[in-house]
Amino acid sequence: MRKLLFITIIFFFLVSTADAQNKKKKGYRYELIGSLGASNFLGDLGGADQIGTNGLKDLELVLTRPAVAIGIRYTIDQYFSVKNNLYWGIVRGDDKLTKEEFRNNRNIHFKSPVVELSSQVEFNFLKEQRGHIYRIKTVRGTAHKNWQIYLFGGGGAVYFNPKAQYNGSWYALKPLETEGVSYKRITGLVSVGGGIRLGINNYWGVGFELGMRKTWSDYMDDVSSTYVDPSIFNGDKIAEHFSNPMEPSNPLYCYPCTGEQRGDRTDKDAYMFGVATVGYKMMKKKRSRSKF
């Protein structure tokens, strides 16, 4: 939580800097942003058909789910911006989608909502040049430069709540403590990515953004370390099932598997967003001289 507090302090410092710039520059704008797209999970479950993979190699396109976001961007200068976001999405993972023997035999699946509050610093490679609101060929003046390409980095926090299905019903996994661990459902994250924006006019713009989030938790999918002794569940059959849902018909089946590897605790969970964006820039109105 100390890291999250540090990130928050840095963000508000940058916003304050942006506001100071706003008072000095008549042309300063801030931008309201709406986003719609997709989310995907990068963790222990499913993934590539080989053991020991992580990151983008574990991307399962069939588990892509919807995501939405709102945000506000503060322009500091021609190259740097600060953006604050609120994202909502769904992430999923399923061992049945991989042919790698260990993961497939493990037979674990999950789904979880993700609610992310984050801040990012953007570096723009191309300076946006504002010109006429309307593109009139006969009017002289500065033309409107449409494209911006940018990279971003930042951090924040995310809420998650993994669930799994058994006999037609979905169960929250955290209360069951399937690995004998009571983890938190809010964790910090670091985000990196990039995007492209197209300015339609001085006020409206559209774009696309792709970003990855690396979290500080290994329990977004309720999988991290080793199988526990089923006796700790005191006869709770639901908890026993989700702790070890291996199929007895599988050649690698074991029960109990106490102490055997269940997940990779050395690699924290990650997820990604790919979203189309629509932005509306709000400008400080200039005072006009009286006509009388």
Residue 25 has pLDDT above 90, yes or no: no
Please indicate, yes or no, if residue 129 is contained in any of the structural domains.
Answer: yes
| pLDDT tens string 75-109 | 888 889 999 999 999 999 999 988 888 888 999 99
Instruction: Report the alpha-carbon distance of residue 116 to residue 86 in Å, rounded.
Output: 6
Please indicate, yes or no, if residue 291 is contained in any of the structural domains.
Answer: no
Residue 285 has pLDDT above 70, yes or no: no
Residue 195: name the closest of 37, 28, 1, 17 by CA.
37
Please indicate, yes or no, if residue 231 is contained in any of the structural domains.
Answer: yes
Please indicate, yes or no, if residue 136 is contained in any of the structural domains.
Answer: yes
Q: Which domain holds residue 108?
A: 2-25+39-283
Alpha carbon of residue 15 to chain centroid: 22
Please indicate, yes or no, if residue 242 is contained in any of the structural domains.
Answer: yes
Please indicate, yes or no, if residue 67 is contained in any of the structural domains.
Answer: yes
Number of domains in the chain: 1
Instruction: Report the alpha-carbon distance of residue 193 to residue 149 in Å, rounded.
Output: 11
Predicted TM-score of the model (pTM): 0.82
Please indicate, yes or no, if residue 33 is contained in any of the structural domains.
Answer: no
How big, in percent rounded to 5, are the helix, strand and coil portions of the chain? 20, 40, 40
Maximum CA pair distance of the chain? 91
Computed over its alpha carbons, how large is the radius of gyration of the chain?
24
Please indicate, yes or no, if residue 157 is contained in any of the structural domains.
Answer: yes
